[in-house]
Structure 1
Amino acid sequence: PLATGDYLFFLDSDDTLTRGALRAVADRLEETADPDVLVFDYARTYWWGGTRRNVLARVLAEAGAGTFSASEHPEILDLLMVVWNKVYRRGFVETEGFAFPPGYYEDTPWTFPVMLSARRIAALDRICLAYRQRRQGNILSTTSRKHFDIHDQYERVFAFVDARPELSSWRPYLHHKMGEHCLDILSKPDRLPEGDKAEFFRLTAALFRKHRSGPVPPELRVLEGGFTRYRLRRQAVRAGRELSRRGQQVRRAATVRVKRGWSTLHEHRPLDPNLAVYSAFSHRGVLGDPAAVYTAARELAPHIRGVWVVRDEEQAALLPPGTEHVLLDSPRYRRVTARATYFVNNVNWPGSLVKRPGSVHIHTHQGTPLKFMAADLLHKPGARQGFDVPQMLRRADRWDYS
């Protein structure tokens, strides 16, 4: 009720408009004689400096110069169904009574009704918004039961269509979209708690049966079976993709599988609360601040067993007498790192080392901690040529103490 402009525009607080975007939007609205909705393009901008345009940008280019409805150009519904890549004529919104419900997925019961009801939609084939991709902290990438909200939101969409007989032909399409959307949430490793996935599948399948209208496409028939069948199919699909991807690297991948299987076996065993693993200067011996922590731990906490990681036998020969050690990437290294509670290092541990829940990673740095550690190269692609800054930051995410 507080808006007074001719059009409404919703912008997330962490996204930004591109230069000249509002002028381009205003010009396009004038060209198309004030449509109900104007859809524009966006680009994903990543925290490490990369940019990627919407992969379905062609849909906007193919929409033409005039206006259309969703039934005349249904491909417009293949675009990301969010609220922020469109502007809406305020009179149209007020007449139809569109409003946002509470919940995680409030875009869904807004966008589908709006797009299906609009008689005049226009497209702007121009990137007007930078869609920021966070390294972490995205609400939809947070593991939570709040993702169950998607079922209630699609119930609202179907209730809207049921109340408008002229939109009944869209039911098969919405049924398909709902199934795809829910399965996509279920397939993401960071969305649902592991113990809640079976319940989420059952509720999705029930909703899918309730609103079924017409034949079920092959990719959604998994919703007609149980969760165990779904999980087995997912595992089979992943295995097939993995075999295809490996190609010429079969022998190397076989070795990786053996190591991974061995590590997985030991990762199911509890952590050893009296085991600490140390390394310094890329596994070069008992050196630097990790050595100081090791020495102090032997005095203050003698019950904690300290094991050093070294690169090779040559480095091992240089260790102080009686120093327990393992060689990097050896079976003993994998056994020790799978069970240890404490990890002390003045550089990052290898990316292959998985941080188990309950383990404690201590990074002592080298020299002062008041330095960039290559993070200042994010926007200098020439200077960081060959250096994987995103991987470095993912490794830093494992630190508990700096």
Structure 2
Amino acid sequence: LAAVAARLETTGDPDILVFDHVRTHWWGRGGRSEAADLLAAAGLETFSVRESPQYLNLFLVAWNKAYRRAFFQGHGLQYAPGLYEDAPVTYRSMVLAERIACLDRIGVEYRQRRQGAITKTPGRRHFEIFPQYEGLFAFLEQRPDLDWARPLLLERALDHMLFVLAREDRVRPADRGDFYREIRSFHRRHLPEGGFPEPDGWRGVEMRLLASAPYASYAVARTLRDLRAAALGGQRRVARKASETALRGWYAVQSKRPLDPHLAVYSATHHRGVSGDPAAIYEKAREIAPHIRGVWVVREDAVDALPPGIDHVTPGSRRYHEVMARATYWVNNVNWPGTLAKRPGSVHIHTHQGTPLKYMGADLLTKPGARHGFDVPQSLRRADRWDYSLVAGRHAERAWERAYPCHFTSLRTGSPRNDVLVGAGPERGRAVRERLGIPADHTVVLYAPTRRDYRKGG
């Protein structure tokens, strides 16, 4: 605050002072903002956006600026209800300000929570960006003296909307066509006569597409851009990328269809076959919920070992993407791939692979040796999809909830695969002893060790 006050005095009480911030992610990594060089370049001079339009690229939030009180209130600046409320106030104030100053110093530590941010929660709320920007342009309609700013702000608004469209953690695949049509409509309403200078590169292509192309054409253009980038990696990579892109398109199409309430998908130990807790749940479901059709995801090299009559799909196949898009129930003892989205109404059940006796999930953040080659943030993002975590007991419940701080519900069911031990009668025990040659008066200890995460190779 002392540095802010000193810079305000040095620059003669400007309308706005912009300062820097540092972004700190929940797993510890951080860094200065992308605007650091821009802030440094301003030095001790003041400027207006009309003179220096590049400063519209500064982070459009409320908390990296000090506003002169009389300026803010005199122009009636107010934050509207809803999401993306920072944008119109930021842009309106920046074009109104006659004197803007910068402070090349970090004033805010922007701590990124792992969960809870609405901007990283997919859903229809992200459509609120459109009324926010409509409010900004309604203001501009009343201010012909700011006509010079309209092309600049339209480019910034479209850039922001297209950024949101491209983010998988904001606009769901099923909503992207509608979101794109809203962008096109906004572009058509507010494009000035004669257009405006198009940005270079891909952004310029996007602007031309907005003027004439439906969403299907836009999606194809994005795909071609990705393929062109992939071509730099060689023909094999291009072919693989083309195949993956086609399958993603098929997955997106299937995701628009209703969930199948009678379809469950199972996997165990990275698709290695029918085993573990998912297998126990699958067998019990066949008994007590025969109307639920179970499909297993199994690697190609494990298909031949499947029990007879198991309906299955192989990862990456066309039917795999269809099943994953439409299944209401997902059951697994490891995480599903990050490319799969959790649809509203689906139920994800995570069974784990036993009792946690080593470091897992977020606990690995302080154990660099144990997490070597393991992406903790990605693992937790995948765990965000869990609805239920099946736990063997109170110890497991506390360990999993600490290691995976997500929004699932823990169910103290025990391990389903152990039901065969708990529920077996004396005759099962005698049959096993006879088969293994264990005398009746001997005590049997089942020893099932976990991997040693302090040893190379486990």
Q: 2:388 maps to which residue? A: 401
Distance 1:49 1:305, change over 3 A: same
Alpha-carbon separation, structure 2, partners of 1:137 and 1:385: 28
Q: Deviations for 1:5-58, whole angstroms, at most 9, x for unmatched residues?
A: xxxxxxxxxxxxxxxxx3332333343343332110123333343223222311
- Does 66-75 or 37-46 show the bigger shift? 66-75
**SS state of the match for residue 62, structure 1?**
helix
**SS state of the match for residue 232, structure 2?**
helix
Q: 2:62 maps to which residue? A: 83
Shift of residue 112 of structure 1? 2.9
Asked if the contact 1:377/1:384 (under 8 Å) is kept, the reply is yes
Q: 1:374 maps to which residue? A: 361
Shift of residue 336 of structure 1? 8.0
The unaligned stretches of length 5 or more in structure 1 are 1-21
**SS state of the match for residue 242, structure 1?**
helix
Asked if the contact 2:17/2:67 (under 8 Å) is kept, the reply is yes
What is the identity, as a one-letter code, of the residue corresponding to 1:225? A
Asked if the contact 1:36/1:120 (under 8 Å) is kept, the reply is yes
Match runs of 1:1-400 below 5 Å: 22-141=1-120, 142-144=123-125, 145-159=127-141, 161-162=143-144, 165=145, 167-188=146-167, 190-191=170-171, 193-194=175-176, 196-197=178-179, 199-209=181-191, 212=192, 215-218=195-198, 219=204, 222=208, 225-228=211-214, 231-255=216-240, 257-258=242-243, 261=246, 265=250, 268=254, 273-311=261-299, 317=305, 322=308, 324=310, 326=312, 328-329=314-315, 331=317, 334=320, 337-338=323-324, 340-353=327-340, 355=342, 359-368=346-355, 373-378=360-365, 383-400=370-387
- Does 367-376 or 293-302 show the bigger shift? 367-376
Alpha-carbon separation, structure 2, partners of 1:260 and 1:168: 42
Give the aligned CA root-mean-square deviation in angstroms.
3.8
Q: 1:16 maps to which residue? A: none
The normalised TM-score by structure 1 is: 0.75
Shift of residue 255 of structure 1? 4.0
What is the identity, as a one-letter code, of the residue corresponding to 1:222? R
The unaligned stretches of length 5 or more in structure 2 are 199-203, 390-458
The normalised TM-score by structure 2 is: 0.67
What is the identity, as a one-letter code, of the residue corresponding to 1:281? T
What is the identity, as a one-letter code, of the residue corresponding to 1:143? R
Q: 2:447 maps to which residue? A: none
Distance 1:108 1:214, change over 3 A: farther
Which structure carries more relative contact order (alpha carbon 8 Å, separation 6+)? 1
Asked if the contact 1:39/1:87 (under 8 Å) is kept, the reply is yes
Asked if the contact 1:83/1:111 (under 8 Å) is kept, the reply is yes
Distance 1:95 1:365, change over 3 A: same
Distance 1:251 1:156, change over 3 A: same
Alpha-carbon separation, structure 2, partners of 1:72 and 1:398: 48
Q: Deviations for 1:258-312, whole angstroms, at most 9, x for unmatched residues?
A: 4664675586377655444433333455443223323322321234444544556
Alpha-carbon separation, structure 2, partners of 1:183 and 1:385: 36
Alpha-carbon separation, structure 2, partners of 1:205 and 1:183: 11
Percent of aligned pairs sharing the same letter: 48
Alpha-carbon separation, structure 2, partners of 1:353 and 1:199: 25
Asked if the contact 2:17/2:101 (under 8 Å) is kept, the reply is yes
Asked if the contact 1:46/1:134 (under 8 Å) is kept, the reply is yes
What is the identity, as a one-letter code, of the residue corresponding to 1:161? R
